[in-house]
Amino acid sequence: MIVQGIQQYLATRPVVEGEIVHACWLVFRVASEGPPVELESLDFKNLATFTKELSEAESIFAMQANTLREHAAEGEPCTLRHTAVVSKSYCPRHPKAFIKRDTPAKESDSGWYVGILDDHIDLNDPESFTVQSLYELSIADKRALPYWLMPVDTFVVLENGVVA
């Protein structure tokens, strides 16, 4: 699906091994110039680990497209390289975890905030938060993967996938 589209596009221009290609939320790397061009994607298991097995990337692309369609939402661009502000109270798979998207503050910022309901942190204290990449967050807690392209003002309770 997405991989074939990328390969068709890359067949129309020169490519070099190791070249990075962005497609929707995903990042691919040219493994071989081909033809056809052979791609790798991040494996969604470890940081900075690429794989030629692209089924996970295809699944994520389909999941995100279905979520946008299901909510009749227009996607807000970002990639797995973008960052989110994360409450230090959050831990992966927390039953009260949520994500909320605000307007991004800078180019590398996705606008996403990851927190927990009824959090008692001091919202005015910068020490209450960390910054993590969406890829890093997705490896640790795959529940957020379908929602990363949702627009500004989206609020999602991760435990049950309720979108507000």
DSSP-assigned letter for residue 14: -
- Same domain membership, residue 87 and residue 63: no
**pLDDT tens digits along 57-111:** 999 999 999 999 999 999 998 999 999 999 999 999 999 999 999 998 888 999 9
pLDDT of res. 124:
86
The last residue of a domain, from among 46, 70, 94: 70
- Same domain membership, residue 110 and residue 62: no
pLDDT of res. 42:
93
C-alpha separations of 113 from 55, 56, 124, 133, 147 in Å: 28, 24, 15, 11, 12
Q: Is-contact 3 52, C-beta < 8 A?
A: no
Instruction: For residue 137, give its domain range.
Output: 83-163
- Same domain membership, residue 64 and residue 109: no
Total domains, the chain: 2
Alpha carbons within 13 A on the beta-carbon side of 79: 13
pLDDT of res. 156:
97
Q: Which two tokens stand for residue 101?
A: 């998207």
The last residue of a domain, from among 36, 70, 104: 70
Cα separation, 118 vs 86, whole angstroms = 15
Mean pLDDT confidence for 109-132: 93
Cα separation, 116 vs 96, whole angstroms = 5
Helix (H) or strand (E) holding 66: helix 55-70
**What is the overall mean pLDDT for the chain?**
93
Helix (H) or strand (E) holding 108: none
Helix (H) or strand (E) holding 130: strand 129-133
